[in-house]
Structure 1
């Protein structure tokens, strides 16, 4: 098991176009889960994925449709998005690029499909705005809120006040991905807490399972991150120290 925090600058990752109109970067891959960056400049073709998608709209405005005969669900910067496994979908941008970050749970490949008529079962998109979040797991000096509290991927917005140093903790066996909305932030870890992973604005990261760490804000301003914990409770295990 790795004992290092992985930090990735998305601009260093080569993009791909798995289906027409969809530009995608795989930022971090852990087993059968991926943190991906998506961009649509106009509109994408219809496609599907084998795994559920948990996303956050980083920039832009547009919509996502899961049926050719239904009105698209609106998306705007700051919204949180969940699309069930196997659901067909099509993204459209409005007046500029639509950009999302998302974790795909399971088969992540985008596969083109014909335009669907009607939605079968729970194949649909759920969108929650930033004002619709609810409090979730607590750690000292961090405010965590989530749009989807009952899923096996806990997608969260995390805020740390200026100068905050959260308590030492780990996330059990969960796969942990993150993104720095506004930063920088620093995460301390290591046998004596002597290592520091610095995450700049716009960078993403992965913290290995059971790695004891604490998140700090080295500035005087409140900073925000988007976090995905993939697995099951306990989501957070607070401990006395790095040892």
Structure 2
């Protein structure tokens, strides 16, 4: 099988990728910025060489953080693996639209200001092991030692938001990752995320991002899909499902990460 990499969203110098690594496959990232990753399925080893001291394991439902510098080769160690990784590279160029967007079935689905929907190919990139970029590793063991993996027992409280429990593996990082859970309907108040662009991935359940009460002023997102909410965009989160809602977020800016909206903002 092939390694398949899709760049899902880019904003504020941060790029979010979805990566599928086949069983016994290897993905060699080319980005040298700090990496903030989540293993959605499977098990992986992040390796800077064959020495055990230069290797770190990250399993399903675990987060990892790799400081800027030489990226690791990512090995799928127990069947295929699916990862979502945000690279803080300071990349410049066209960013996502000023309105919420989501990915579904390999396409970017963007909701426009008038409620229309535009769909276009996401442009998946594929790599094979022979095509991997090669890097000079400054110190393999030191790179591994500087990499942090966080499972459930390591997540800290990130504050509740209207029936949504939020926990963060690395709450003080420039790019904050959040694991969210709700066991029922979600009805948030109007709010925005300051200077943070928000990238998200829905693990279970479904819901809406709403920016008004009129027809077409919402974006539906379901399990297996990613979404982007632009910085400062006033919205509220909605879900009519009575089942579990699970999601992962990446917030790209600074504190405060969430602010209530003024009436004049809507």
TM-score w.r.t. the length of structure 1 is 0.81
**Quick one: which of 44, 47, 56 aligns to 1:73?**
56
Deviation of the 1:107 alpha carbon: 5.5
Q: Which residue number corresponds to residue 81 of structure 2? A: 98
How do residues 1-243 of structure 1 correspond to structure 2 at under 5 angstroms? Answer: 22-41=3-22, 42-44=24-26, 48-71=30-53, 72-106=55-89, 111-114=133-136, 118-120=140-142, 124-190=146-212, 192=213, 195-239=217-261, 243=266
With over 3 angstroms needed to count, the CA separation of the structure-2 counterparts of 1:78 and 1:122, relative to structure 1, is closer
With over 3 angstroms needed to count, the CA separation of the structure-2 counterparts of 1:79 and 1:45, relative to structure 1, is closer
Deviation of the 1:47 alpha carbon: 5.2
With over 3 angstroms needed to count, the CA separation of the structure-2 counterparts of 1:240 and 1:163, relative to structure 1, is farther
Name which of structure 1's ranges 230-239 and 118-127 shifts more when overlaid on structure 2.
118-127
Deviation of the 1:219 alpha carbon: 0.7
Cα deviation code 1:28-68 (max 9, x no counterpart): 12252211011222242655522111111011113112343
With over 3 angstroms needed to count, the CA separation of the structure-2 counterparts of 1:62 and 1:163, relative to structure 1, is same
With over 3 angstroms needed to count, the CA separation of the structure-2 counterparts of 1:208 and 1:117, relative to structure 1, is closer
With over 3 angstroms needed to count, the CA separation of the structure-2 counterparts of 1:68 and 1:124, relative to structure 1, is farther
Give SS of 1:119's match: helix
Instruction: Kindly report the root-mean-square deviation, in angstroms, between the aligned alpha carbons of the 2 structures.
Output: 2.7
Partners of 2:86 and 2:65 in 1: how far apart?
10
Cα deviation code 1:193-235 (max 9, x no counterpart): 7611110111101001111111122111120110000111010
With over 3 angstroms needed to count, the CA separation of the structure-2 counterparts of 1:160 and 1:189, relative to structure 1, is farther
| Preserved CA contact (<8 Å) 1:81 1:126 | yes
With over 3 angstroms needed to count, the CA separation of the structure-2 counterparts of 1:145 and 1:93, relative to structure 1, is same
With over 3 angstroms needed to count, the CA separation of the structure-2 counterparts of 1:118 and 1:103, relative to structure 1, is closer
Give SS of 1:221's match: coil
Give SS of 1:112's match: coil
TM-score w.r.t. the length of structure 2 is 0.75
Deviation of the 1:184 alpha carbon: 1.1
- By percentage of residues, which structure has more helix? 2
